[in-house]
Protein backbone atom coordinates (compact mmCIF):
# COMPACT_ATOMS: atom_id res chain seq x y z
CA UNK A 1 0.00 0.00 0.00
CA UNK A 2 2.79 2.40 0.88
CA UNK A 3 4.54 1.61 -2.40
CA UNK A 4 1.36 2.34 -4.33
CA UNK A 5 0.90 5.67 -2.54
CA UNK A 6 4.53 6.59 -3.12
CA UNK A 7 4.19 5.86 -6.81
CA UNK A 8 1.06 7.95 -6.96
CA UNK A 9 2.82 10.82 -5.20
CA UNK A 10 5.80 10.53 -7.51
CA UNK A 11 3.51 10.46 -10.54
CA UNK A 12 1.67 13.54 -9.29
CA UNK A 13 4.93 15.37 -8.76
CA UNK A 14 6.09 14.45 -12.24
CA UNK A 15 2.84 15.77 -13.70
CA UNK A 16 3.13 18.99 -11.71
CA UNK A 17 6.73 19.53 -12.77
CA UNK A 18 5.82 18.77 -16.37
CA UNK A 19 2.94 21.24 -16.26
CA UNK A 20 5.23 23.90 -14.79
CA UNK A 21 7.74 23.33 -17.55
CA UNK A 22 5.11 23.73 -20.26
CA UNK A 23 4.08 27.14 -18.94
CA UNK A 24 7.54 28.28 -17.92
CA UNK A 25 8.57 29.99 -21.16
CA UNK A 26 5.55 32.24 -21.71
CA UNK A 27 5.08 33.07 -18.03
CA UNK A 28 8.72 33.97 -17.46
CA UNK A 29 8.96 35.94 -20.69
CA UNK A 30 5.76 37.86 -19.95
CA UNK A 31 7.03 38.67 -16.47
CA UNK A 32 10.31 39.94 -17.87
CA UNK A 33 8.47 42.07 -20.40
CA UNK A 34 6.32 43.56 -17.66
CA UNK A 35 9.37 44.52 -15.64
CA UNK A 36 10.91 46.25 -18.64
CA UNK A 37 7.73 48.00 -19.75
CA UNK A 38 6.92 49.18 -16.24
CA UNK A 39 9.58 51.87 -16.59
CA UNK A 40 7.98 53.00 -19.85
CA UNK A 41 4.60 53.04 -18.15
CA UNK A 42 5.87 55.33 -15.41
CA UNK A 43 7.44 57.77 -17.85
CA UNK A 44 4.47 57.84 -20.23
CA UNK A 45 2.07 58.66 -17.40
CA UNK A 46 4.36 61.41 -16.12
CA UNK A 47 4.71 62.94 -19.59
CA UNK A 48 1.10 62.17 -20.59
CA UNK A 49 2.42 60.95 -23.92
CA UNK A 50 2.39 57.72 -25.89
CA UNK A 51 5.77 56.09 -26.67
CA UNK A 52 6.49 55.09 -30.26
CA UNK A 53 10.22 54.31 -30.55
CA UNK A 54 13.57 55.88 -29.59
CA UNK A 55 15.62 58.71 -31.02
CA UNK A 56 19.23 58.30 -32.16
CA UNK A 57 20.43 59.42 -28.73
CA UNK A 58 18.36 56.70 -27.06
CA UNK A 59 15.65 59.00 -25.71
CA UNK A 60 12.01 58.12 -26.18
CA UNK A 61 10.28 59.30 -29.33
CA UNK A 62 6.64 59.98 -28.56
CA UNK A 63 3.81 59.65 -31.06
CA UNK A 64 2.97 62.78 -33.02
CA UNK A 65 0.69 65.25 -31.31
CA UNK A 66 -1.40 65.37 -34.47
CA UNK A 67 -2.35 62.14 -36.21
CA UNK A 68 -0.22 59.03 -35.74
CA UNK A 69 -1.28 55.53 -36.79
CA UNK A 70 0.65 53.93 -33.90
CA UNK A 71 -1.23 55.64 -31.06
CA UNK A 72 -3.32 52.60 -30.14
CA UNK A 73 -0.54 50.06 -29.66
CA UNK A 74 0.87 51.28 -26.35
CA UNK A 75 -2.54 51.41 -24.57
CA UNK A 76 -3.14 47.96 -26.04
CA UNK A 77 0.11 46.71 -24.50
CA UNK A 78 -1.02 48.11 -21.16
CA UNK A 79 -4.41 46.39 -21.44
CA UNK A 80 -2.72 43.08 -22.18
CA UNK A 81 -0.42 43.51 -19.20
CA UNK A 82 -3.48 44.20 -17.07
CA UNK A 83 -5.21 41.11 -18.47
CA UNK A 84 -2.17 39.03 -17.58
CA UNK A 85 -1.41 40.47 -14.14
CA UNK A 86 -4.69 42.05 -12.95
CA UNK A 87 -2.49 44.81 -11.55
CA UNK A 88 -4.64 48.00 -11.63
CA UNK A 89 -1.64 50.19 -12.49
CA UNK A 90 -1.74 48.78 -16.03
CA UNK A 91 -5.47 49.49 -16.37
CA UNK A 92 -4.92 53.03 -15.17
CA UNK A 93 -2.09 53.53 -17.65
CA UNK A 94 -4.16 52.15 -20.53
CA UNK A 95 -7.12 54.39 -19.74
CA UNK A 96 -4.93 57.43 -19.27
CA UNK A 97 -3.06 56.98 -22.54
CA UNK A 98 -6.01 56.14 -24.76
CA UNK A 99 -7.86 59.24 -23.64
CA UNK A 100 -5.18 61.25 -25.44
CA UNK A 101 -6.55 60.32 -28.87
CA UNK A 102 -10.25 59.78 -28.13
CA UNK A 103 -11.24 62.63 -30.46
CA UNK A 104 -9.66 60.74 -33.38
CA UNK A 105 -12.67 58.42 -33.42
CA UNK A 106 -14.46 61.02 -35.52
CA UNK A 107 -11.70 61.38 -38.13
CA UNK A 108 -12.68 60.52 -41.68
CA UNK A 109 -9.33 61.49 -43.21
CA UNK A 110 -7.42 58.24 -42.58
CA UNK A 111 -7.96 54.48 -42.64
CA UNK A 112 -6.02 53.45 -39.53
CA UNK A 113 -8.85 53.85 -37.04
CA UNK A 114 -8.80 50.10 -36.48
CA UNK A 115 -5.17 50.22 -35.39
CA UNK A 116 -5.99 53.15 -33.12
CA UNK A 117 -9.22 51.97 -31.54
CA UNK A 118 -9.59 48.22 -31.92
CA UNK A 119 -6.16 47.68 -30.36
CA UNK A 120 -6.90 49.99 -27.43
CA UNK A 121 -10.59 50.57 -26.76
CA UNK A 122 -11.33 47.18 -28.30
CA UNK A 123 -9.03 45.48 -25.79
CA UNK A 124 -10.64 47.60 -23.06
CA UNK A 125 -14.13 46.43 -23.95
CA UNK A 126 -13.19 42.77 -24.17
CA UNK A 127 -11.61 42.91 -20.72
CA UNK A 128 -14.01 45.22 -18.85
CA UNK A 129 -17.27 45.01 -20.89
CA UNK A 130 -17.75 48.70 -20.13
CA UNK A 131 -20.32 49.98 -22.68
CA UNK A 132 -18.54 53.33 -23.05
CA UNK A 133 -15.70 51.52 -24.83
CA UNK A 134 -18.18 49.78 -27.11
CA UNK A 135 -19.59 53.12 -28.21
CA UNK A 136 -16.12 54.40 -29.10
CA UNK A 137 -15.66 51.39 -31.39
CA UNK A 138 -19.01 52.09 -33.06
CA UNK A 139 -18.16 55.76 -33.56
CA UNK A 140 -14.73 54.92 -35.02
CA UNK A 141 -16.26 52.33 -37.34
CA UNK A 142 -18.82 54.83 -38.60
CA UNK A 143 -15.95 57.17 -39.43
CA UNK A 144 -13.95 54.43 -41.13
CA UNK A 145 -16.71 53.25 -43.45
CA UNK A 146 -17.09 56.75 -44.92
CA UNK A 147 -13.88 55.92 -46.80
CA UNK A 148 -15.43 52.94 -48.57
CA UNK A 149 -15.91 53.29 -52.33
CA UNK A 150 -18.46 50.94 -53.90
CA UNK A 151 -16.90 51.28 -57.35
CA UNK A 152 -13.55 50.06 -56.08
CA UNK A 153 -14.83 47.75 -53.38
CA UNK A 154 -12.28 49.02 -50.88
CA UNK A 155 -11.70 51.49 -48.09
CA UNK A 156 -9.26 54.16 -49.27
CA UNK A 157 -6.01 54.14 -47.36
CA UNK A 158 -4.23 57.47 -47.67
CA UNK A 159 -5.73 60.82 -48.49
CA UNK A 160 -3.81 62.64 -51.21
CA UNK A 161 -3.60 66.18 -49.95
CA UNK A 162 -0.81 67.98 -48.12
CA UNK A 163 1.32 64.90 -47.48
CA UNK A 164 4.09 62.85 -49.07
CA UNK A 165 1.57 60.57 -50.77
CA UNK A 166 0.17 63.51 -52.74
CA UNK A 167 3.40 63.64 -54.74
CA UNK A 168 2.96 60.07 -56.00
CA UNK A 169 0.20 60.85 -58.47
CA UNK A 170 -2.13 58.23 -57.01
CA UNK A 171 -5.91 58.33 -57.34
CA UNK A 172 -7.24 55.84 -54.76
CA UNK A 173 -4.39 54.03 -52.98
CA UNK A 174 -5.13 50.91 -50.93
CA UNK A 175 -2.35 49.34 -48.88
CA UNK A 176 -2.14 45.78 -47.58
CA UNK A 177 -1.94 47.18 -44.03
CA UNK A 178 -5.54 48.31 -44.43
CA UNK A 179 -6.70 44.70 -44.02
CA UNK A 180 -5.86 44.93 -40.33
CA UNK A 181 -8.40 47.70 -39.79
CA UNK A 182 -11.21 45.38 -40.88
CA UNK A 183 -11.14 43.59 -37.53
CA UNK A 184 -12.85 46.54 -35.87
CA UNK A 185 -15.63 46.45 -38.48
CA UNK A 186 -16.17 42.73 -38.00
CA UNK A 187 -16.26 43.21 -34.25
CA UNK A 188 -18.71 46.10 -34.36
CA UNK A 189 -21.06 44.10 -36.60
CA UNK A 190 -20.92 41.36 -33.98
CA UNK A 191 -21.55 43.82 -31.14
CA UNK A 192 -24.38 45.72 -32.81
CA UNK A 193 -25.99 43.12 -35.04
CA UNK A 194 -25.67 45.58 -37.94
CA UNK A 195 -24.36 43.73 -40.98
CA UNK A 196 -23.23 46.81 -42.90
CA UNK A 197 -19.83 46.87 -41.18
CA UNK A 198 -19.15 43.21 -41.94
CA UNK A 199 -20.37 43.56 -45.52
CA UNK A 200 -17.90 46.37 -46.16
CA UNK A 201 -15.11 44.39 -44.48
CA UNK A 202 -15.86 41.31 -46.61
CA UNK A 203 -15.99 43.34 -49.82
CA UNK A 204 -12.66 45.00 -49.01
CA UNK A 205 -11.09 41.64 -48.17
CA UNK A 206 -12.33 40.05 -51.40
CA UNK A 207 -11.08 42.95 -53.53
CA UNK A 208 -7.71 42.82 -51.79
CA UNK A 209 -7.48 39.07 -52.29
CA UNK A 210 -8.15 39.56 -56.00
CA UNK A 211 -5.82 42.47 -56.72
CA UNK A 212 -3.09 42.65 -54.08
CA UNK A 213 -1.62 39.18 -54.38
CA UNK A 214 0.63 37.42 -56.85
CA UNK A 215 0.17 33.76 -57.83
CA UNK A 216 2.87 32.68 -55.34
CA UNK A 217 0.96 34.14 -52.38
CA UNK A 218 3.11 37.26 -51.96
CA UNK A 219 1.55 40.69 -51.73
CA UNK A 220 2.07 44.08 -53.29
CA UNK A 221 2.20 46.92 -50.81
CA UNK A 222 0.03 49.47 -52.66
CA UNK A 223 -2.67 49.05 -55.30
CA UNK A 224 -3.90 52.28 -56.85
CA UNK A 225 -7.45 52.27 -58.26
CA UNK A 226 -9.55 54.48 -60.47
CA UNK A 227 -12.24 55.64 -58.02
CA UNK A 228 -14.84 56.04 -60.80
CA UNK A 229 -14.40 52.69 -62.58
CA UNK A 230 -12.72 50.56 -59.93
CA UNK A 231 -10.02 49.53 -62.40
CA UNK A 232 -6.49 48.91 -61.14
CA UNK A 233 -4.14 51.68 -62.24
CA UNK A 234 -0.89 50.41 -60.77
CA UNK A 235 0.68 48.07 -58.23
CA UNK A 236 3.59 49.62 -56.38
CA UNK A 237 5.39 49.91 -53.07
CA UNK A 238 5.93 52.73 -50.61
CA UNK A 239 7.87 50.92 -47.91
CA UNK A 240 9.30 47.85 -49.61
CA UNK A 241 12.50 47.42 -51.60
CA UNK A 242 10.80 47.48 -55.02
CA UNK A 243 7.35 47.34 -56.58
CA UNK A 244 7.70 43.62 -57.28
CA UNK A 245 9.39 42.72 -54.00
CA UNK A 246 7.75 41.19 -50.93
CA UNK A 247 7.89 43.72 -48.11
CA UNK A 248 8.07 41.60 -44.97
CA UNK A 249 5.62 43.43 -42.76
CA UNK A 250 3.13 43.51 -45.60
CA UNK A 251 3.30 39.73 -45.90
CA UNK A 252 2.76 39.42 -42.14
CA UNK A 253 -0.22 41.81 -42.27
CA UNK A 254 -1.73 39.63 -44.99
CA UNK A 255 -1.37 36.36 -43.10
CA UNK A 256 -2.67 37.81 -39.85
CA UNK A 257 -5.64 39.61 -41.43
CA UNK A 258 -6.97 36.80 -43.64
CA UNK A 259 -6.74 34.46 -40.66
CA UNK A 260 -8.78 37.05 -38.77
CA UNK A 261 -11.31 37.17 -41.62
CA UNK A 262 -11.80 33.43 -41.24
CA UNK A 263 -12.33 33.86 -37.50
CA UNK A 264 -15.33 36.11 -38.08
CA UNK A 265 -16.82 34.60 -41.25
CA UNK A 266 -15.80 30.91 -41.15
CA UNK A 267 -15.47 31.21 -44.92
CA UNK A 268 -12.88 28.61 -45.87
CA UNK A 269 -11.54 30.67 -48.75
CA UNK A 270 -9.96 33.00 -46.20
CA UNK A 271 -8.40 30.13 -44.30
CA UNK A 272 -7.02 28.66 -47.52
CA UNK A 273 -5.68 32.06 -48.52
CA UNK A 274 -3.97 32.57 -45.16
CA UNK A 275 -2.30 29.20 -45.62
CA UNK A 276 -1.17 30.21 -49.11
CA UNK A 277 0.50 33.29 -47.64
CA UNK A 278 2.06 31.18 -44.89
CA UNK A 279 3.47 28.82 -47.51
CA UNK A 280 5.10 31.71 -49.36
CA UNK A 281 6.68 33.04 -46.18
CA UNK A 282 7.79 29.83 -44.50
CA UNK A 283 9.14 28.21 -47.70
CA UNK A 284 10.83 31.32 -49.02
CA UNK A 285 14.56 30.78 -49.71
CA UNK A 286 15.25 34.08 -47.94
CA UNK A 287 13.28 33.15 -44.82
CA UNK A 288 15.91 33.13 -42.03
CA UNK A 289 16.56 30.12 -39.83
CA UNK A 290 15.51 32.00 -36.70
CA UNK A 291 12.17 32.94 -38.29
CA UNK A 292 12.56 36.71 -37.90
CA UNK A 293 12.30 38.10 -41.46
CA UNK A 294 14.61 40.48 -43.21
CA UNK A 295 12.78 43.78 -43.74
CA UNK A 296 12.02 42.68 -47.32
CA UNK A 297 12.19 39.15 -48.68
CA UNK A 298 13.93 40.54 -51.77
CA UNK A 299 16.30 42.95 -50.04
CA UNK A 300 19.46 43.16 -52.15
CA UNK A 301 21.98 42.70 -49.34
CA UNK A 302 20.64 39.55 -47.68
CA UNK A 303 22.03 38.08 -45.38
CA UNK A 304 23.32 41.47 -44.24
CA UNK A 305 19.98 43.25 -44.60
CA UNK A 306 18.28 44.54 -41.43
CA UNK A 307 15.87 42.17 -39.72
CA UNK A 308 12.41 43.33 -38.76
CA UNK A 309 11.29 42.12 -35.35
CA UNK A 310 7.89 43.74 -35.86
CA UNK A 311 7.26 41.49 -38.88
CA UNK A 312 8.36 38.50 -36.82
CA UNK A 313 5.99 39.38 -33.98
CA UNK A 314 3.00 39.92 -36.30
CA UNK A 315 3.81 36.70 -38.15
CA UNK A 316 4.10 34.71 -34.91
CA UNK A 317 0.79 35.98 -33.56
CA UNK A 318 -0.92 35.28 -36.88
CA UNK A 319 0.53 31.77 -37.10
CA UNK A 320 -0.64 30.96 -33.58
CA UNK A 321 -4.23 31.77 -34.53
CA UNK A 322 -3.88 30.04 -37.90
CA UNK A 323 -2.70 26.95 -36.01
CA UNK A 324 -5.89 26.91 -34.00
CA UNK A 325 -7.84 26.31 -37.23
CA UNK A 326 -5.40 23.79 -38.76
CA UNK A 327 -4.71 21.23 -36.02
CA UNK A 328 -1.64 23.14 -34.79
CA UNK A 329 -0.03 22.90 -38.21
CA UNK A 330 1.97 26.11 -37.77
CA UNK A 331 2.40 26.14 -34.00
CA UNK A 332 5.97 24.85 -34.02
CA UNK A 333 7.05 27.61 -36.41
CA UNK A 334 5.25 30.23 -34.33
CA UNK A 335 6.92 29.10 -31.11
CA UNK A 336 10.28 29.11 -32.87
CA UNK A 337 9.79 32.76 -33.93
CA UNK A 338 8.70 33.84 -30.45
CA UNK A 339 11.66 32.12 -28.82
CA UNK A 340 13.97 33.80 -31.32
CA UNK A 341 12.43 37.16 -30.43
CA UNK A 342 12.95 36.35 -26.75
CA UNK A 343 16.69 35.85 -27.33
CA UNK A 344 19.38 38.46 -26.79
CA UNK A 345 19.39 39.11 -30.54
CA UNK A 346 16.01 40.83 -30.35
CA UNK A 347 15.09 41.36 -26.70
CA UNK A 348 16.71 44.33 -25.03
CA UNK A 349 18.66 44.12 -21.83
CA UNK A 350 16.80 45.25 -18.73
CA UNK A 351 16.66 49.05 -18.52
CA UNK A 352 17.95 49.63 -22.06
CA UNK A 353 16.31 50.27 -25.46
CA UNK A 354 14.15 53.12 -24.15
CA UNK A 355 12.42 50.51 -21.98
CA UNK A 356 10.81 48.84 -24.99
CA UNK A 357 11.03 45.05 -25.04
CA UNK A 358 12.06 44.27 -28.61
CA UNK A 359 14.83 45.90 -30.58
CA UNK A 360 15.77 45.64 -34.28
CA UNK A 361 12.51 46.53 -35.98
CA UNK A 362 12.19 48.47 -39.23
CA UNK A 363 9.57 51.13 -39.85
CA UNK A 364 10.36 52.40 -43.34
CA UNK A 365 13.82 51.69 -44.67
CA UNK A 366 13.35 53.46 -48.05
CA UNK A 367 12.52 56.65 -46.16
CA UNK A 368 15.36 56.10 -43.68
CA UNK A 369 12.80 56.19 -40.91
CA UNK A 370 12.92 53.97 -37.80
CA UNK A 371 15.53 51.46 -38.93
CA UNK A 372 16.85 48.87 -36.44
CA UNK A 373 15.00 50.41 -33.50
CA UNK A 374 12.21 49.36 -31.11
CA UNK A 375 8.64 50.01 -32.22
CA UNK A 376 5.52 50.04 -30.08
CA UNK A 377 3.66 47.76 -32.49
CA UNK A 378 6.44 45.17 -32.38
CA UNK A 379 5.97 44.94 -28.61
CA UNK A 380 2.19 44.82 -29.04
CA UNK A 381 2.14 41.75 -31.28
CA UNK A 382 4.92 40.09 -29.29
CA UNK A 383 2.95 40.39 -26.04
CA UNK A 384 -0.17 39.23 -27.88
CA UNK A 385 1.67 36.14 -29.11
CA UNK A 386 3.04 35.39 -25.66
CA UNK A 387 -0.40 35.65 -24.08
CA UNK A 388 -1.80 33.21 -26.62
CA UNK A 389 1.02 30.76 -25.93
CA UNK A 390 0.33 31.07 -22.21
CA UNK A 391 -3.33 30.21 -22.80
CA UNK A 392 -2.11 27.10 -24.60
CA UNK A 393 0.14 26.19 -21.69
CA UNK A 394 3.38 26.79 -23.58
Cα–Cα dist 384/116, whole Å: 16
Contact 51, 44 (CB under 8 A): yes
Strand partners, 105: none
Please tell me which residue in 68, 104, 110, 177 is annotated as part of the active site.
Answer: 177
- Residue 112 known to be catalytic: yes
Closest among 116, 104, 26 to 74, alpha carbons compared: 116
8 exposure class (CB count in 10 Å sphere: 0-12, 13-18, 19+): exposed
Query: What are phi and psi for residue 148, nearest 5 degrees?
Result: -80, 135
Instruction: Calculate Rg over the CA atoms of the chain.
Output: 21
Which residues lie closer than 8 Å to 174 by C-beta, 6 or more apart? 152, 154, 155, 156, 157, 207, 208, 212, 222, 223, 224, 225
List the catalytic residue out of 68, 104, 112, 379: 112
Dihedral angle sign, alpha carbons of residues 35, 36, 41, 43? positive
Q: In sequence order, what are the residues at sequence separation of 6 or more whose Cβ sits closer than 8 angstroms to the Cβ of residue 66?
A: none
What positions carry a catalytic annotation?
112, 177
Amino acid sequence: MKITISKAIILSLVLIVTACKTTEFSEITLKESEQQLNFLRTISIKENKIPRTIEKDGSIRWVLDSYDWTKGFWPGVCWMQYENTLDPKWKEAAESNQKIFLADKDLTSDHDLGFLFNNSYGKAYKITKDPKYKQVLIDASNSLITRFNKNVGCIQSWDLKDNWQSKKGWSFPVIIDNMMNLEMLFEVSKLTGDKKYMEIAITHANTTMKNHFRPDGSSYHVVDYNPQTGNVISKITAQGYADESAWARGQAWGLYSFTMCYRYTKDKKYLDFAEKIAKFILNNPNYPKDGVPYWDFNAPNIPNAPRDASSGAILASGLIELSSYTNDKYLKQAIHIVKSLASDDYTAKFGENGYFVLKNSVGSLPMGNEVSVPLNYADYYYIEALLELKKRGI
